[in-house]
């Protein structure tokens, strides 16, 4: 893959572009890609949450998820006893999900482009909030109709240990630290890789939390 952001070490030095790690085929960590936008992004998250509050979905098995979630965009990810799915309306308010803030749309598109996926137009943005005790067990993202489009993820707040596995649940996992401002783009052969969040790092601020935005083309 030939990408302007991922040139040689010399290129990076000359252009001062953020370093990128290839996690696997088609999956790239853009370290600090959203660093300069963290304050604006958090303000936009807070505005979405004011209209569509964070909530703990039930899994189809009836367990309360430890991660609190909400959505913006044309469709949002929902879980309840009936299963996992995307829907146009917030089941709590019965209103359509709030629109994606322009800052989200632009960031998702630019990050995808930097990783070699031009013209990414997500219709769904899942907002995840992790308190210190929250976890996301190993899973695949397969509720989307379109598996050719990448997924873009943006980390804010507390750092976390991300688990990066393989195409089978039992494949061994790598641990990757995701810090605020890191953006990860998963596409191609990595789109259906098993992944999760093992732990969130505490800090001196007992109130602090982690946020993650995931942008998807769901339908």
Query: Residues annotated as binding site for Fe cation?
Result: 139, 141, 195
Written as six digits, the tokens of 216 are 């998807």
* 41: Cβ contacts below 8 Å, ≥ 6 apart: 34, 103, 104, 107, 154, 156, 213
Q: Which does 129 bind (CB under 5 to 8 A by kind): ligand MD3, Fe ion, none?
A: none
Pick one of 184, 185, 200, 218: the residue that binds ligand MD3 (CB under 6 A): 184
Rounded least distance, CB 165 to ligand MD3, Å: 9
Q: Which of 43, 100, 102 is nearest to 70 (CA)?
A: 100
Tell me how far, at minimum, the Cβ of 151 lies from ligand MD3, in Å.
Answer: 4
- Contacting Fe ion within 121-150 (CB under 5 A): 141
Nearest Cα neighbor of 26 from 189, 194, 201 is: 189
Could you tell me which residues are beta bridge partners of residue 71?
126
Nearer to ligand MD3, 72 or 193 (CB): 193
CA distance 164 to 58: 24
Give the nearest distance from C-beta 103 to ligand MD3 in angstroms. Answer: 18
**Closer CB to ligand MD3, 5 or 152, in the complex:** 152
Show contacts with ligand MD3 in window 95-154 (CB under 6 A): 126, 128, 136, 141, 151, 153
> In the chain, what is the straight-line distance between the N-terminal and C-terminal CA atoms, in Å?
27
| Contact residue for ligand MD3 among 125, 156, 212, 218 (CB under 6 A) | 212
């Amino acid at each position: 893959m030939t990408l302007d952001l991922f040139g040689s070490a010399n290129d990076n030095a000359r252009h001062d572009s953020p370093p990128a790690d290839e996690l696997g085929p088609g999956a790239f960590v853009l370290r600090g890609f959203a660093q300069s936008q963290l304050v604006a992004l958090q303000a936009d998250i807070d505005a979405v949450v004011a209209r569509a509050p964070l909530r703990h979905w039930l899994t189809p098995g009836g367990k309360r998820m430890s991660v609190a979630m909400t959505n913006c965009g044309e469709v949002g990810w929902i879980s309840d006893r009936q299963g996992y799915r995307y829907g146009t309306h917030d089941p709590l308010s019965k209103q359509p999900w709030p629109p994606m803030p322009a800052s989200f749309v632009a960031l998702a598109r630019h990050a995808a482009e930097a990783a070699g996926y031009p013209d990414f137009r997500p219709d769904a943005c899942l907002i995840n909030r992790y308190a210190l005790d929250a976890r996301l067990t190993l899973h695949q993202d397969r509720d989307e109709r379109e598996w050719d489009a990448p997924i873009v993820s943006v980390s804010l707040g507390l750092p976390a240990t991300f688990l990066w596995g393989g195409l089978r649940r039992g494949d061994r996992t790598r641990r990757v630290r995701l810090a605020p401002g890191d953006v990860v783009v998963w596409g191609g052969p990595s789109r259906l890789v098993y992944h999760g969040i093992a732990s969130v790092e505490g800090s001196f601020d007992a109130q602090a939390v982690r946020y993650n935005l995931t942008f998807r083309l769901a339908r």
